[in-house]
Each structure stands twice: as structure tokens, then as C-alpha cells.
């Protein structure tokens, strides 16, 4: 199709070399309508070099009152729901021309409310119109149709005073074969027009009270919550701020504090039209108190988990924000009087619990007051100039503690990075083994506790799990269990042993919580664990253990390493590196599929073997054809007769080398010798069937038919062992 003309408004003050904040302050005036040709070069220049508006204005000022028409439509997808791939696929099927491109923040992390939003696709689509939309009702009807077609769209995309900053060509898809959009032929437009005509252009809210979670526009027309607006800060009234009946398009409302020390909202536009109570809107009773508490950095509420009155504040000599039970309403009154805050008529209610993945102190809309107060180290955003790299001293400590086992070290980095990034409970753990002074305490105290907060991390011995009180599971995010020992391979019956309680604490998120002199309640176990032991083979693990990554035993004290700079120096160096270490973890490519898996390595197998009986080890050797284990465990008694017996047993074992089957009777003889038993063929047959998973069957063995099993035994050429030599020599 031939190239055609279309119109857009361009701002003369816009500077594409400057950022959005600079341009937003410059582009209220200076708008002029211009003709453009729908060519790829023209459209690319327009969208990457100019600030543009799809609307046309009667003067140079961009405002609702000056709006006279819309000449194009800009679809705006900014929340990450609409992906590049999906939008490109949809664009290919449209029956009108369009240009799809990326915004300045496409696939870039953005900071909002102190949090880094993830990188996602941020996209726009410019669509020329075949004729100008000149009726406001038509504009609203087209907007309604397009919102139905694209539920993911930014709801303000067709605002009368909306403009768009320049974008990029990181994503760029130009279509010119269909012609401009014939908006009057959009499916569903007639029905949308009826809906728009039946709807008054402005309605006073039925609920005329202000809620802290109401959304308002600040002076820069950026959407925010009422709870984030401070008194006397200009905003657009949530009741009339965007109505067409208003005489101007500026901000017109503020929040103020009344004589009872509680907030209210005043709007001059509503006052002039007789809305509200002379322009005044009161806060919802509870929400007003919540708003007032936030101003003073105080909290008064009822904990719905324990039905207790709570008061929270920062106190001299105590780190961070602290909430405590008040014991009753008289204590609450004293708390309010002392801190010069109003006494509540109706108490806010919320669960007082540790929400590890939230930096909000209180979210009454979400139903919680947060125990957790994340350290600045954890909350601080990664600078754009930061280049991810491992911190040398902290890595030296980690590498030494885990005995230089790179598989374990890499898994520790992976799981710790996921822990930092998501702030969710880990359901597997790490066992650190070694002599005293390997650096386990140094790693925990000077690295991990600093990252997650000393108030929310701690060390304990396993006796803490034997105690009937386990409320520490709800108030700690990470605990190092020192000098752990015991058998993790079996249960202890109906009464849970200390070991069983530890196993539950590692994996289960919902548990029964009981504090001293407190009633039990169902609580959330937010605690993750690390384990350490100085004992050799301190714990026993089952063959199917799914909780522990086991590091090799470290026999060298950390101060005996070549890189040890001295205690004071290493602590100082770690302090200097720990923020970089957190940023490194925040950008580490953590693999979530590894989180529920544990490494099966040699150190772990040692602990698993300890849990097996000699009978289990025997049949494990049989299943794998492990002649070496059989020969090493043949029992030889003192005396000449026993030597002959040993030789007979040895001949039977040696006869299996490089064979692919074994008789049930040969296995029985070997089993009885190694395990000190005297099982008859029937007894052994039942036992073997249980361990090997099948009964014996008739097989041709050494030219005779006997009942037995098909087993691929080790090749003699692969066996080099003194026991084999001893047995072989004794039979020559």
C-alpha cells in the first residue's frame, strides 16, 4: 500500500538525550500538531527521538480541557504480562498498520517503593487512525473496546493528556501493508458506545470515606497509595481528580490532620461544587488510625494470632523496630500517651508474624504486621554499575569450611543466592564437618548474620529441639545447629525424638508452635538451617535422605591456611566485602530445580553406610556384584580347622569372580559366615527374596541346574586386594 500521511502532536521542549524526570517537568506546554508520512524511517525517528502524543490540542498546552481529538492510538504494555513473543504474534494477524517497539525500560529492572522490580518486556504499539476521533464519547468507547481486546494494557493508555517519551529499537516491528485502523468499524464499538452514553462522566464514590489503599495521582500524575502521601502534599482528589466537569487539570487536594490528631482529605474542587462535607472527606476509622501511626513510625494493633494488644516503636538501646505485648488496654493508653499519639477507638487487627520476603513493616490490607526487619545489606538495590564477581576473602572462608569440595561449594552458592533473592524457607540443609576452628562460626557470625540480621538468626545445639517450646521457628530465618549428632535414618515411635523434630523443622513449613506459658497454635515455620559437627561421623543418614548436603571433613584449622591474615584483619575484610557479596548473590543465576535436591557424594555415603545393618550391606554387595566387599568381610576364626573352613568359604567367593549368576546355596553359606548366622535354605530364601526383590529361579550353574540369581560379579582383573591374594594363596 502507498505511504500515507498521519498526524501526531510533538513537543518542542522535549530532549531525547535527557531522562523522563527532566522531560516530564518540561512538556506541559509546547505541543503542536504535525504531519508525518507512514514510512519505516519516519516512524522510527518519531518514536526514538521525540516526545509524542496521539492527541490534538486547541492550544500548546497538553490538558483535558484543551483536547480536540485523537489521531492515533498508542497501546502501552508496561506490567510484564504481555510478552514480546506474544505481541509480535498478535501483530502479524492485525488488519491495520502498526509499529511495535520497546520503551526505555524494556527488560530493565526498575526500583519502586525501595524494591527492585524484575526485568520484563515493556512494549508499545503505535497505530495510525483513518480519521480523527473528535467526540469524547467515541474516545471512551474505543478505549473500552481495546481494553477488552488487551486486558494487560496500561489503563491510562488513551488519556486525553497522555504523552509518551521516546523508546528504543531493541524490539522493532513495522507493518505497512494494511492501511490505518478504521476505528469506527471496530467489533463491539456500538455496544461500547451505549455503555459510555449510559454512564455519567463523573460520579461521586458511594463510599465517601478515604482508605489507605485507595489509589491517587500525586502532583506529577504518578499513581500511588493514599498511605504513601504525607500531609499537605498536593494530590489529585480520588473523588473528582480526573472528572471532565473540573475547571482545571492540576492537583487540587491535600491530606490534613484534624483536632483529634487524625487525618482527613480536603479537595478545593469538591468544595466549589458542594461535594463531600464542604470538600472534606474523612478517613475510614481504622484506616485513619493506620495512616496516623505510620506518620509517627509507631504501631498499635491487635495480634489476631494470639489475641494480644501490641505496641511497636523504635527504642533507645534496641536495634531496629520492636513490637511488644502491652498486657491490656491500660498499657496501650500509657504507650499512646508516652509517644504522643492518639488512642484508638477501634484497633487495627493483623497477624503479627515474620514475613521474610517483605520489607513492609505493616500491611493491614494484607493482614499482617511484619516481625522481620531486613538489614540494609539485604534491602539495598544492586547498583547499575556493579559487575558481579566473587568476593575473594568470603569465598576463601566458604571454600575452606566446605573442605574445597567444588560440587558442595557451588550448591551452597546456588541455594544461598536463591535464599537471598526470594527470601523463602530452604527445605534442604548443609552439614559442615571438621575439627574446631575451621571457620564455621566465622562464616555464620560475620557473613550470614550480617546479611539476614542478628535478631533473626542464631546458633543453637540440638537440645533446643528437645525442648517442648519451639517458637524460635517463627522468629528466626536462619539457625546454625552446632555439634549435631544422632541417627537421622529412622523414627523413634509415637513420641517424637529430638532427631525427628529436627527433621520436621528442616522440611515442614506449617507446624504446631508452642512458646513458654503460651497456648499452642498453627504457625508458619520460616526457619532454614545449617548444621555443623566436630565429631567424626557425627550423624547417621538413611539411604533415601532428602535433607542433607554433606561436605567432606575439614582437618585443617582456618588459621593454619596460607591466606589467613589474622582474626581482626579477616573480620574487617569481610565487613568491607559483605555488601558486594550480597549483590553478587542477588545477580547469581540460581537454579530453582536444585533446591529440593541433595548431592549424593562420598562423604554422604559414609554416613548412610553407618545406618545399614550388616545384612543390608551384604545384599547391597550382592546386587552390585561387589566381590571385594564379600572377600573383605569373610569371617576367619583362629585355629587350623577354621583356616580350612575359611579356605572353603574363600573358594566359594572366588568362584563368583567374572560370573553372571550365583546359586542360592552359595549365597546362604557366605551370608551365614559374614553375619554369624545359621539360616537353613528356606529361611535364607525368604530373607534373600525380601532384599533382592525376587525369588530364586532354576539356573544352569557350573554345568548343574540349581536355584539361584542372575548377578554380574566383578571381573577378577579389576580386583587388586590383599584379601583376594590371601584367599587365593590359601587355596593353591
Does the pLDDT at position 541 exceed 50? Answer: yes
- Residue-number span of the structural domain to which 249 is assigned: 215-286
Judgement on whether residues 414 and 523 belong to the same structural domain of the protein = yes
* Residues forming beta bridges with residue 323, ordered by sequence position: 312
User: Can you give the pLDDT at residue 512?
Assistant: 63
CB 537 within 8 A of CB 486: no
What tens digit of pLDDT does each residue of 164-173 get? 999 999 999 9
Q: Identify whether the C-beta of residue 214 lies closer than 8 Å to the C-beta of residue 207.
A: no
Share of the chain above pLDDT 90, in %: 52
- Residue with the bigger pLDDT between 634 and 370: it is 370
Would you place residue 350 in the very low, low, confident or very high pLDDT band (cuts 50, 70, 90)? very high
- Do 84 and 123 meet the contact criterion of CB atoms below 8 Å apart? yes
Residue-wise pLDDT tens digits, 72-83? 999 999 888 899
Q: What's the pLDDT band for 687 if we cut at 50, 70, 90? A: confident
CA distances 625 to 50, 206, 265, 410, 667, Å, are 76, 80, 82, 33, 12
190 in the same domain as 220 = no
Q: Can you give the pLDDT at residue 498? A: 66
End-to-end CA, the chain:
98
Instruction: Based on the fold, state whether residues 602 and 619 are members of the same structural domain.
Output: no
Last residue of a domain, one of 168, 197, 226: 197
Residue 203: the pLDDT is: 46
Q: Would you place residue 467 in the very low, low, confident or very high pLDDT band (cuts 50, 70, 90)? A: low
Task: Rounding to the nearest 10 degrees, give the CA dihedral for residues 77, 80, 84, 89.
Answer: -70
Same domain, 401 and 495: yes
pLDDT at 137: 86
Q: Is residue 387 included in any domain, yes or no?
A: no
Helix axes 567-586, 406-422, angle to 10 degrees: 60
Whose cell is 554422604? That residue is 604
**607, 624, 655: which is the final residue of a domain?**
607
Give the model confidence (pLDDT) of 401-410 as tens digits: 999 999 999 9
pLDDT tops 60 at residue 474: yes
pTM: 0.57
Residue 636: how many CB atoms within 10 A of its CB?
Answer: 16
Quick check: is 208 in a domain? no
Q: What is the pLDDT of residue 454?
A: 92
Contact 573, 627 (CB under 8 A): no
165 & 230 share domain: no
Does the residue 412 lie in any domain? yes
Q: Residues 328-342: what's their mean pLDDT?
A: 94
Number of independent structural domains in the chain: 5
Tell me, yes or no, whether 591 and 624 share the same domain.
no
Q: What is the pLDDT of residue 175?
A: 94
String of b and e for 391-416 (b: at least 16 CB within 10 Å)?
bebbbbbbbbbbbebeebbebbbbbb
Q: Which residues, at least 6 apart from 732, have a Cβ–Cβ distance to it below 8 Å?
A: none
Instruction: Tell me which residue has cell 497538553.
Output: 62
Q: Is residue 204 part of a domain?
A: no
More confident call, 652 vs 246: 652
Per-residue pLDDT of 120-166, as tens digits, reads 889 999 999 999 998 888 999 999 999 999 998 988 889 888 899 99
Do 626 and 695 fall within a single domain? Answer: yes
Domain identity same for 325 and 360: yes
Worst-scoring range by mean pLDDT, 70-79, 101-110, 549-558, 584-593?
101-110
The predicted model gives 340-346 an average pLDDT of: 92
Binned at pLDDT 50, 70 and 90, residue 635 comes out as confident
Q: How confident is the model at residue 522 (pLDDT cuts 50, 70, 90)?
A: low
pLDDT tier for residue 537 given thresholds of 50, 70 and 90: low
Q: Is the pLDDT of residue 272 over 80?
A: no
* Inside any domain, residue 383: no
Predicted confidence band at 464 (pLDDT cuts at 50, 70, 90)? low
Nearest-5° Cα angle at 121, 380 to 22? 65
Phi (first) and psi of residue 392, to 5 degrees: -65, -45
Q: Give the pLDDT confidence score for residue 482 in this predicted structure.
A: 87
- Indicate whether 489 and 547 sit together in one domain: yes
Residue 281 CA: distances (Å) to CA of 200, 287, 293 = 22, 13, 19
302-311, 478-487, 508-517, 700-709: range with lowest mean pLDDT: 508-517
Assess whether pLDDT exceeds 60 at residue 453: yes
Q: Residue 177 falls within a domain, yes or no? A: yes
Q: What confidence tier does 515 reach under pLDDT thresholds 50, 70, 90? A: low
pLDDT at 495: 40
Mean pLDDT, to the nearest integer, of 682-698? Answer: 88
Residue 378 in any domain: the answer is no
> What's residue 445's pLDDT?
96
pLDDT band at 20; cut points 50, 70, 90? confident
Burial class (CB in 10 A: 0-12, 13-18, 19+), 241: buried
Residue 435 sits in the same domain as residue 551: yes
| C-alpha cell read off for 341 | 499519639
Provide the pLDDT confidence category of residue 605 given band limits of 50, 70 and 90: confident
User: Does residue 79 lie in a domain region?
Assistant: yes
- Rounded Cα distance between 727 and 732, Å, is 9
Query: Same domain for 621 and 638?
Result: yes
Among 589, 607, 625, give the residue marking a domain's end: 607
Helix (H, G, I), strand (E, B) or coil at 69: strand
Same domain (yes/no): 355, 420: no
Amino acid at each position: 500500500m502507498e505511504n500515507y500521511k498521519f498526524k501526531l502532536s510533538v513537543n518542542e521542549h522535549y530532549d531525547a538525550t535527557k531522562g523522563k524526570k527532566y522531560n516530564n517537568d518540561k512538556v506541559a506546554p509546547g505541543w503542536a500538531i504535525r504531519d508525518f508520512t507512514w514510512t519505516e524511517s519516519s516512524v522510527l525517528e518519531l518514536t526514538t527521538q521525540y516526545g509524542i502524543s496521539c492527541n490534538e490540542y486547541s492550544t500548546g498546552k497538553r490538558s483535558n480541557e484543551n483536547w480536540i481529538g485523537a489521531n492515533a492510538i498508542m497501546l502501552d504494555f508496561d506490567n510484564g504480562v504481555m510478552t514480546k513473543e506474544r505481541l509480535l504474534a498478535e501483530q502479524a494477524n492485525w488488519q491495520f498498520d502498526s509499529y511495535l517497539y520497546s520503551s526505555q525500560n524494556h527488560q530493565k529492572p526498575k526500583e519502586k517503593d525501595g524494591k527492585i522490580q524484575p526485568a520484563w518486556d515493556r512494549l508499545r504499539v503505535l497505530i495510525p487512525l483513518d480519521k480523527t476521533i473528535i467526540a469524547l464519547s467515541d474516545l471512551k468507547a474505543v478505549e473500552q473496546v481495546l481494553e477488552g481486546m488487551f486486558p494487560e494494557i496500561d489503563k491510562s493508555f488513551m488519556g486525553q493528556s497522555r504523552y509518551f517519551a521516546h523508546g528504543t529499537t531493541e524490539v522493532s516491528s513495522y507493518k505497512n501493508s494494511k492501511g490505518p485502523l478504521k476505528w469506527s468499524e471496530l467489533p463491539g464499538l456500538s455496544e461500547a458506545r451505549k455503555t459510555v452514553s449510559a454512564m455519567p462522566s463523573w460520579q461521586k464514590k458511594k463510599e465517601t470515606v478515604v482508605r489507605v489503599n485507595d489509589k491517587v495521582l500525586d502532583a506529577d500524575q504518578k499513581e500511588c497509595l493514599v498511605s504513601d502521601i504525607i500531609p499537605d502534599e498536593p494530590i489529585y482528589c480520588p473523588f473528582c481528580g480526573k472528572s471532565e466537569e473540573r475547571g482545571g487539570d492540576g492537583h487540587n487536594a491535600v491530606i490534613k490532620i484534624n483536632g483529634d490528631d487524625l487525618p482527613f482529605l480536603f479537595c478545593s474542587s469538591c468544595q466549589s461544587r458542594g461535594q463531600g462535607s464542604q470538600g472534606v472527606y474523612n478517613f475510614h476509622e481504622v484506616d485513619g488510625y493506620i495512616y496516623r501511626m505510620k506518620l509517627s513510625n509507631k504501631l498499635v494493633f491487635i495480634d489476631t494470632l494470639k489475641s494480644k494488644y501490641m505496641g511497636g516503636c523504635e527504642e533507645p538501646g534496641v536495634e531496629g523496630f520492636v513490637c511488644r505485648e502491652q498486657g491490656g488496654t491500660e498499657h496501650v493508653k500509657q504507650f499512646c500517651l508516652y509517644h504522643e499519639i492518639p488512642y484508638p477507638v477501634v484497633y487495627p487487627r493483623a497477624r503479627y508474624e515474620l514475613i521474610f520476603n517483605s520489607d513492609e513493616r505493616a500491611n493491614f490490607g494484607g493482614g499482617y504486621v511484619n516481625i522481620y526487619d531486613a538489614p540494609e545489606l539485604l534491602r539495598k538495590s544492586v547498583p547499575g554499575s556493579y559487575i558481579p564477581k566473587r568476593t575473594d576473602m568470603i569465598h576463601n572462608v566458604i571454600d575452606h569450611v566446605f573442605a574445597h569440595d567444588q560440587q558442595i561449594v557451588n550448591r551452597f552458592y546456588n541455594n544461598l543466592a536463591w535464599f537471598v533473592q526470594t527470601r523463602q524457607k530452604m527445605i534442604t540443609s548443609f552439614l559442615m564437618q571438621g575439627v574446631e576452628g575451621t571457620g564455621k562460626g566465622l562464616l555464620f557470625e560475620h557473613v550470614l548474620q550480617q546479611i539476614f540480621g542478628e535478631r533473626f538468626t542464631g546458633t543453637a545445639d540440638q537440645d533446643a529441639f528437645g525442648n517442648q517450646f519451639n517458637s524460635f521457628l517463627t522468629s528466626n530465618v536462619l539457625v546454625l545447629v552446632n555439634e549435631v549428632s544422632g541417627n537421622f535414618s529412622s523414627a523413634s515411635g509415637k513420641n517424637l525424638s529430638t532427631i525427628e523434630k529436627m527433621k520436621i523443622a528442616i522440611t515442614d513449613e506449617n507446624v504446631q508452635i508452642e512458646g513458654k506459658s503460651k497456648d499452642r497454635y498453627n504457625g508458619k515455620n520460616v526457619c532454614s538451617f545449617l548444621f555443623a559437627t566436630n565429631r567424626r561421623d557425627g550423624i547417621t543418614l538413611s539411604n533415601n535422605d532428602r535433607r542433607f548436603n554433606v561436605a567432606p571433613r575439614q582437618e585443617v584449622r582456618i588459621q593454619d591456611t596460607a591466606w589467613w591474615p589474622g582474626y581482626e584483619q579477616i573480620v574487617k575484610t569481610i565487613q568491607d566485602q559483605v555488601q558486594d557479596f550480597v549483590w553478587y548473590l542477588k545477580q547469581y543465576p540460581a537454579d530453582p530445580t536444585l533446591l529440593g535436591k541433595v548431592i549424593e557424594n562420598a562423604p554422604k555415603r559414609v554416613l548412610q553406610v553407618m545406618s545399614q545393618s550388616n545384612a543390608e550391606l551384604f545384599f547391597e554387595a550382592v546386587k552390585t556384584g561387589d566381590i571385594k566387599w564379600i572377600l573383605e568381610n569373610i569371617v576367619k576364626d583362629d585355629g587350623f580347622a577354621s583356616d580350612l573352613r575359611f579356605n572353603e568359604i574363600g573358594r566359594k567367593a572366588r568362584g563368583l569372580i567374572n560370573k553372571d549368576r550365583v546359586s542360592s546355596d552359595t549365597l546362604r553359606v557366605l551370608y551365614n559366615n559374614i553375619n554369624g548366622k545359621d539360616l537353613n535354605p528356606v529361611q535364607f530364601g525368604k530373607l534373600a527374596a525380601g532384599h533382592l526383590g525376587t525369588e530364586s529361579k532354576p539356573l544352569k550353574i557350573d554345568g548343574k541346574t540349581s536355584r539361584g540369581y542372575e548377578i554380574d560379579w566383578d571381573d577378577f582383573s579389576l580386583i587388586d586386594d590383599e584379601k583376594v591374594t590371601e584367599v587365593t594363596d590359601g587355596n593353591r
